[in-house]
A and B are shown apart, each in its own frame.
Chain A
Amino acid sequence: MSKGRWSKRGSSKGGLGLVALAAWLAMSAGAAPAADQALYPDWQGAWARFVVRGLGGQPSFDQTKPWGLGQEAPLTAEYQKILEDSIADQAQGGQGNFAEHAQCYPAGMPLMMVAFRPLEFVVTPQTTYVLVGGSDHYRRIFTDGRDWPSDIMPSYSGYSIGLWTNAGGGGRNDTLEIETRGFKGRRAYDATGLPLHFDNQSIIKERIHLDPSDPNIMHDETTVIDHALTRPWTVDKKYLRRPNPRPDWEEAYCVEGTALVTIGGEMYYLDGDGLLMPARKGQKAPDLRHFK
């Protein structure tokens, strides 16, 4: 064996040892937070929804289009009618297909990701949490390699399994791919009652990642596969990171401000004194058969 070849082998082993030593020293010096940053993208902070000025209405699934009919959702004829009936009912004072959420039931997926208030993402190796608040609490996205359970308890937020990938090729995880199943309902995409199928068999796939050119923009590319649709429906939801590193986290609970009450299948309003009022023109008072 020539000295030259032996030298190369020796220098490789020596180099490896030096790097390993450096790594061990870095660990011991409390470099853990820096290493976590090396593993996962920086998703800290308050993420507010991206707003297109002038759209009108309330926020919806596709941020770039108006709510309701403006979403141009690829609905089946049956569910297009449900949407139109919902809008018509709301024009008459009802809540249409949005009655449950109007009364503080959870919105569930995908509406819970609309970010009426900023979202917080908390990344750990086994689970990524999305703190939503309001009528929806939070999401858990399990990234611990688990299989789909054979029995999923139906929930408004669904059961989410995620996989970190390195789509950018930069040597670290940068994209969280998620599949969510197992829903309760009813759920709607927005406050017009734009409906998901009442069978609650939706599957929702997401790819969450930071914008390659601006780390303060987050993308949640969401695809809904649902029997109320003629085809999968994909949108790119964007969130903007607020600059304050210590954001004010607003606490909001729907029950505090709701003025709606449902009695015997009919929805009524409560006035400023909490007294019952009709929600529709000519609406009859509630049935009081149980009172003497």
Chain B
Amino acid sequence: MYHRGLICAFAVALMASGAQAAEDAKYPNLKGQWTVIVKPGVPGQRVKFDPDKPWGRGQEAPLTAEYQKVHEESMADQANGGLGNYPTATCHPGGMPRMMSVGEYEYIVTPETTYILIGGEDNYRRIFTDGRPWPGDIDPTYAGYSIGRWLDESGSGSFDVLEVETRGPFKGPRAYDGTGLPLHFDNQSVFKERFYLDKSDPNVLHDTITVMDHALTRPWTADKTYRRSANTRPKWREYYCINGMVNVVIGKENYFLSADGLLMPAKKNQAPPDLRYFKQTQN
């Protein structure tokens, strides 16, 4: 009985450890902390769609004339102290595709779902790889609804590419970067992505994203890259936009909060907010 028990335990342990190794071998190793690769010398903020070009106009986004105007007006408003077309300035989620342009990422690969943990203004993504069809009704979200499938393009017997399609309806407005470079306000974007490890460096991850959006004259593709931290137990920074947020919107106007939390104008000669509901004022 004792020997049978040992044999069974050995078999389960052998099966489990070997099967875990087999499971790990089916999928590429996406473990660890992935940080957006910033190209040195490219001006502007690092949060942008095409990492190889400057933000804003430098992205040379193939916008329609209408949305080129939306973009120009956004930047003009920001030059005057406004927030432009950038709700993330008040901690609203960035949604797709901006959520793939920030911070530190963690990928969790399971057979049914690949999760991307993001944090910050956006929580995480779920990419369903369980073979499900597109649902008949999708609730609007900032992240969209993502269905993916694993491919073995190298013929090695293991998966090496995750192809993803993400549809809405989305919530919005959404912008590609801090200049308010706009996606269409109809929130009908479709994204197609290919995630794969760099062939010459397994510590570089590619997310080649193509955006199809009614604000564009053609699909727009960028290859976003991320570098894996060498630390096998990385520090995960907890970041919440709301900590330290100094923009406040009252009515249709945005204001700043001073260091002592008082309202300040954000624009030159900006009038104070409408205080029609107050009987008593402080000054």
Contacts and interface: CB of A to CB of B under 8 A. Distances in A.
Whether A associates with B in a native complex is yes
Interface of A: 12, 15-16, 19-20, 22-24, 26-28, 30-36, 38-39, 44, 103-106, 122, 124-126, 129, 131, 133, 135, 137-138, 140, 142, 144, 146, 153, 155-157, 171, 184, 246, 248-251, 253, 255-256, 261-265, 270-271, 273-278, 282-292
B277 A278 contact: yes
A19 B11 contact: yes
B170 to A, nearest CB: 10
Nearest to A34: B19
B273 A276 contact: yes
Interface in B197-250: 233, 235-238, 240, 242-243, 248-250
A106 B257 CA distance: 21
A39 B249 contact: no
A241 B235 CA distance: 32
Interface secondary structure of A, over-half rule? loop
Interface of B: 3-4, 7-12, 14-16, 18-20, 22-23, 26, 31, 90-93, 108, 110-112, 115, 117-119, 123-124, 126, 128, 130, 132, 139, 141-143, 171, 233, 235-238, 240, 242-243, 248-252, 257-258, 260-265, 269-283
B279 to A, nearest CB: 8
Contact of B23 (A33, A248, A289): A33
Nearest to A100: B242
A184 B18 CA distance: 41
A20 B14 contact: yes
6 contacts: A15-B4, A15-B7, A39-B20, A131-B124, A255-B92, A288-B282
Contacts of B270: 291
Given A248-B139, A288-B283, A290-B263, A105 B240 contact: yes
Given A20-B14, A137-B117, A246-B130, A255 B91 contact: yes
Contact of A36 (B19, B250, B273): B19
B10 A16 contact: yes
B235 A271 contact: no
Contacts of A253: 92-93, 142
Nearest to A250: B139
Given A105-B242, A285-B282, A288-B263, 16 more contacts: A16-B7, A36-B16, A38-B15, A105-B243, A122-B115, A133-B124, A135-B240, A142-B233, A144-B233, A253-B93, A253-B142, A264-B262, A271-B277, A275-B277, A282-B280, A287-B283
A36 B26 CA distance: 14
Nearest to B113: A122
A22 B15 CA distance: 9
B20 A125 contact: yes
A44 B23 CA distance: 18
A36 B20 contact: yes
A32 B22 contact: yes
The 10 closest A-B pairs by CB, nearest first: A35-B19, A32-B23, A285-B278, A155-B238, A251-B141, A291-B272, A32-B19, A290-B264, A27-B18, A287-B282
A156 to B, nearest CB: 7
A185 to B, nearest CB: 12
Contacts of B273: 275-276
Contacts of A129: 108, 115, 117
Given A16-B7, A131-B115, A290-B263, A249 B126 contact: yes
Contacts of A103: 242
Given A27-B18, A274-B249, A122 B110 contact: yes
Contact of B10 (A20, A105, A250): A20
A16 B8 CA distance: 9
A276 B251 CA distance: 8
Interface centre among B11, B15, B248, B260 (most CB of A within 10 A): B15
Contacts of B278: 276, 278, 283-285
Contacts of A275: 250-251, 273-274, 276-277
Contacts of B264: 290-291
A184 B239 CA distance: 12
B110 A137 contact: no
B262 A171 contact: no
B94 to A, nearest CB: 11
Nearest to A35: B19
Contact of A246 (B115, B132, B143): B132
Given A16-B7, A38-B15, A255 B242 contact: yes
A284 B281 contact: yes
Contact of B252 (A249, A274, A277): A274
B257 A263 contact: yes
Contacts of A124: 108, 110
B15 A27 contact: yes
